[in-house]
Amino acid sequence: MTSFLKPENALKRAEELINVGQKQDALQTLHDLITSKRYRAWQKTLERIMFKYVELCVDMRKGRFAKDGLIQYRIICQQVNVSSLEEVIKHFMHLSTEKAEQARSQAQALEEALDVDDLEADKRPEDLMLSYVSGEKGKDRSDRELVTPWFKFLWETYRTVLEILRNNSKLEALYAMTAHRAFQFCKQYKRTTEFRRLCEIIRNHLANLNKYRDQRDRPDLSAPESLQLYLDTRFEQLKIATELELWQEAFRSVEDIHGLMCMVKKTPKPSLMTVYYVKLTEIFWKSSSHLYHAYAWFKLFLLQKSFNKNLGQKDLQLIASSVVLAALSVPPHDRTHGASHLELEHEKERNLRMANLIGFNLETKPDSREVLSRSSLLAELASKGVMSCVSQEVKDIYYLLENEFLPSDLALKVLPLLNKISKLGGKFTFASSVPEVQFSQYVPALEKLATLRLLQQVSNVYQSMKIENLAGMIPFFDFSVVEKISVDAVKQKFLSMKVDHMKNVVIFCKTSLEADGLRDHLASFAEQLNKARQMICPPDRKQSKLGALLPTLSEVVAKEHKRLLARKSIIEKRKEEQERQLLEKEREEESKRLRLLKIDEEAEQRRLATEIEQRKIQRLQREKEERDREEAEALRLEAEKRLKRKGKKPVIEGGQISRESLMQLTLVEQVRERQEMEKKLQKLAKTMDHLERAKREEAAPLIDAAYQQRLVEERVLHEREQQLEVELSRQRHAGDLNEKERLSRMMGNKEIYQERVVSHRQAEFNRLQRDRLDRISKILLSRKQEREKMRKLKYYLKVEEEKRQKLREEEEAREREEAERKKKEQAERQAKLDEIAEKQKQRLREIEEKAEREKREALLGRPAEPALRPYEPPVRPVDPGTAAPAAAAAAPAPGKYVPKFRRGGGETAGAPPPEADRWGNSGSRPDGDRWDRNSSSFGSGGGSRSSSTWSSSRMRDRT
């Protein structure tokens, strides 16, 4: 390996080697540069090197080198300049496609050059001998030599590019473009095997994308652009699969689309859904699944009617007619009748799976999903208004086959309608991808349905019928085909009939009164007779409505009671369901939290496992390289021995044979041995062909003679058995006549016994009827007495309730009056208290002003003029003997301030005067006992009277 200081030097060295014809060395030089860890920083020179590298890989058809170089270049420019990788890959695919087209054009030119009259003029003798020995045509040989290698390389190119771009979110568009080009390659050259492999590759890429969600550059399917690219790829895959008629792969593509939609929980655009349902109709029709085919048409009708605003009347009529005809083409009998439990489970699972695909329901609930059936489809067609959009011929045939009862001429009326329908059809204008629809494809199924309907209606009317009469009523098929159809219908329990070829009749076995068809006819016949009787003998008078309602009144009450009980149970169940939902929600939150923790742990484990796997891969790679060296050495020794045995000299490069030469020699030897073996096998096959032809020529006359002898023996045996059968029939007939004569003697005894049994049962019936009428009359009488008792009880309870209500109202009126009176007294008392408090405040202010004035007079030494007092308390009565000393003692000395409590007599000199009472009584306090004691020290009746007066007023206030 040569190292270069700059990448430009490696590119220059490669160009020099190319100029001298050493392309392999030039490719190895560029490969060593790209895979070297020294040049991991992206630069523009590396892009030019990659262009030259892929050109060399394409010229030499080295797909493995191209893949390794592109992987290394992706590592280099993934985070720096991913557009450079895109340009290199586009250049690589362009060169591969161009080489393949050149090889194909060369093969066509060679084929045209070989297409001459005189082969000896244009071919050498050696070429002619080779063509006769190999047994190949000129075109096949030229394709194998020129076209096939380049097509293989182009296919390998597409696989390489898809593998490189599968986990790259920045090159999703290039990945989609490559997939589309690969699909077109398979379509253009009819490569069905490669198409299957390509679908599997893309499917695996998506599965790995969902499996390893922690990759850094992983595409995000929740993004609208990514989802649209993946959907376009899947729909292109579906289109190519149907064009190549790979119906199984087309169905798998449909499942891929459905799985992708379930994964991202988003429905695609209506235009894509149109293609989806159109392809579903083709797939189901090819698989003879008429029921699913009809449902696909019905979904397409609903989709176009809801979203296509430009839908014309002709297109609407065409698609509606297709829906109705597809629904009528479904067999009317159930094919799962009489199947085993395992088959029924498989059929149920298949129905649910198809319902998911057809309905495109992302929230699948199999327990609540309705099973697809012909009857439910026809009911939906009627409810959705499809019948109002179809053509008149389709509407007529629908009513003839589903609603009319015409056992004699049903097929004759259906035949001209089928001839008209077979000529209808056309191409839809609302979607270019929808193929042209011809209603003639439904004609065989409609003929079979008409045959089944006719057999069903005839079986309800007749017990037996001549075969030629029945065959004349069915103009569609021969009687052998009708017999096959009837056998299938009898097997599915749709019909009950037998074909007796000896008597040349058809026997319909439904003769009992319990048969559904006969019972319906008897019921309709009874209704018509009842209407005729009412028209002939109308009723005399109209019955009273009240009389008609009274017998059912008890039933109405019982039903109402049951309804209320059911409503109560429903409410309780809803409460329980709500509680259960709350518990489930809490459980789900807890499980979600645990799941997130588990995801984190799994991510860490995956990271560790990835590191271990990488180390393991590196170790295996080293071991593989060691094994490759050992195998190369063993191949070299073996090649030298082989060449020495044949007298040839081995090719030596630097003293040792090269590995490429060893591989080339081994391949050449294997090809030569294979050709020799093929020649031996061809010679042996030709010998065996001649031997087998000779044996058959010798055995042919012997076989013919044995066959003629066998015919004679069988004819004699048939005549003998026929004669024996005639004798046995005569004996059985004579025995039956004897048995009839013997049993006819018992007919009289049988009639006597029958009359006795009938009379006994009639008497028993009359007795039971009388007992029943007596029991009913007793029950009615007891119920009447019970209703009377209940009515009286309700009246008594109503009267008592009115009395209690009246007493309660009187008591409430008295309580309201008492509360108003107390409230009024309380307001008056509060007003008096407020007035007394105001007076008390006024007296306190006057006392304070007087004290302030006396204080100023004492300080200034002059008496002040008495101020006018706004309020004068009442004068107390004073004793004349004690008034004079008190006045004398109260006279102050001139020029000296004397407190008020010292201005009295000598007995009261040491005690302050009593303060004014807050209630207006001076000389008294709120504490009556203490002021009574003080008032006794004055020695006069005035103090005691004032205290008693205060005490009495205080008691009144408290009261």
Rounded CA gap, 956 and 52, in Å?
A: 127
User: Which residues make Cβ contacts (< 8 Å) with residue 640, sequence separation at least 6?
Assistant: 650, 657
For the chain, give the percent of residues with pLDDT over 70.
Answer: 75
Which pLDDT belongs to residue 659?
62
Query: What value does the mean pLDDT of the chain take?
Result: 77
Which pLDDT belongs to residue 926?
41
Answer whether residue 922 shows pLDDT above 50.
no
Which pLDDT belongs to residue 886?
41
Q: Tell me, what amino acid is at 830?
A: Q
Which pLDDT belongs to residue 490?
86
Which pLDDT belongs to residue 759?
94
- Ranking 80-89, 294-303, 325-334, 429-438 by mean pLDDT, the lowest is 429-438
Tokens of 39: 């040049």
Residue-wise pLDDT for 275-320, tens only, equals 888 888 888 888 888 888 888 888 888 888 888 777 777 878 888 8
The mean pLDDT of 319-325, rounded to a whole number, is: 87
Residue-wise pLDDT for 468-503, tens only, equals 888 888 888 888 888 888 888 888 788 888 888 888
Closest to 63 in 3D by CA, of 132, 121, 149? 149
Answer whether residue 661 shows pLDDT above 80.
no
Rounded CA gap, 229 and 260, in Å?
A: 12
Output 543 or 725, whichever has higher pLDDT. Answer: 725
Which pLDDT belongs to residue 281?
84
Which pLDDT belongs to residue 143?
52
The mean pLDDT of 544-558, rounded to a whole number, is: 63
Answer whether residue 636 shows pLDDT above 80.
no
The 3-state DSSP class for residue 612 equals: helix
Output 240 or 548, whichever has higher pLDDT. Answer: 240
Rounded CA gap, 297 and 447, in Å?
A: 21
The mean pLDDT of 42-50, rounded to a whole number, is: 80
Rounded CA gap, 740 and 747, in Å?
A: 11
**pLDDT grade for 870, boundaries at 50, 70 and 90:** very low
Answer whether residue 366 shows pLDDT above 60.
no
Q: What are phi and psi of 389, to 5 degrees?
A: -105, -10
Nearest-5° angle of CA 766, CA 767, CA 769? 65
- Ranking 597-601, 660-664, 941-945 by mean pLDDT, the lowest is 941-945
Q: For the whole model, what pTM was predicted?
A: 0.50
Which pLDDT belongs to residue 334?
66
Which pLDDT belongs to residue 145?
60
CA distances from 226 to 127, 169, 175, 204 (A): 56, 8, 11, 17
Tokens of 485: 């159809």
Which pLDDT belongs to residue 764?
94
* 421 Cα distance to chain centroid: 37
Q: Which of the residue ranges 317-321, 333-337, 795-799, 898-902 has the most confident prediction, judged by mean pLDDT?
A: 795-799
Closest to 505 in 3D by CA, of 469, 530, 452, 539? 469
Which pLDDT belongs to residue 633?
78
Answer whether residue 531 shows pLDDT above 90.
no
Answer whether residue 242 shows pLDDT above 80.
yes
Which pLDDT belongs to residue 340?
59
Classify residue 878 by its DSSP letter: -
Answer whether residue 80 shows pLDDT above 50.
yes
**pLDDT grade for 830, boundaries at 50, 70 and 90:** very high
**Contact indicator for 174, 88 with CB cutoff of 8 Å:** no
Closest to 44 in 3D by CA, of 89, 80, 3, 14? 80
Rounded CA gap, 26 and 15, in Å?
A: 7
Which pLDDT belongs to residue 847?
93
Task: Using CB atoms within 10 Å of the CB of residue 327, give its burial: 0 to 12 exposed, 13 to 18 middle, 19+ buried.
Answer: buried
- Ranking 107-111, 682-686, 732-736, 917-921 by mean pLDDT, the lowest is 917-921
Task: Using CB atoms within 10 Å of the CB of residue 819, give its burial: 0 to 12 exposed, 13 to 18 middle, 19+ buried.
Answer: exposed
Output 189 or 827, whichever has higher pLDDT. Answer: 827
CA-CA-CA-CA torsion sign (196, 197, 200, 201)? negative
Rounded CA gap, 442 and 324, in Å?
A: 10
Element (DSSP H or E) covering residue 505: strand 505-508
Rounded CA gap, 394 and 424, in Å?
A: 10
Answer whether residue 906 shows pLDDT above 50.
no
Closest to 82 in 3D by CA, of 174, 159, 1? 174
Classify residue 507 by its DSSP letter: E
- Ranking 144-148, 230-234, 526-530 by mean pLDDT, the lowest is 144-148
Tokens of 733: 């007939």
Q: Which long-range contacts (CB under 8 A, 24 or more apart) does 268-272 make?
A: 268/231, 270/303, 270/307, 270/308, 271/431, 272/231, 272/235
Task: Using CB atoms within 10 Å of the CB of residue 846, give its burial: 0 to 12 exposed, 13 to 18 middle, 19+ buried.
Answer: middle
Rounded CA gap, 296 and 360, in Å?
A: 11
Strand partners, 656: 653
Q: Which of the residue ranges 170-184, 287-301, 314-328, 771-785 has the most confident prediction, judged by mean pLDDT?
A: 771-785
Closest to 102 in 3D by CA, of 160, 168, 31, 150? 150
Q: From start to end of 609-677, where are the E strands?
A: none
**pLDDT grade for 36, boundaries at 50, 70 and 90:** confident
The 3-state DSSP class for residue 416 equals: helix
**pLDDT grade for 215, boundaries at 50, 70 and 90:** low
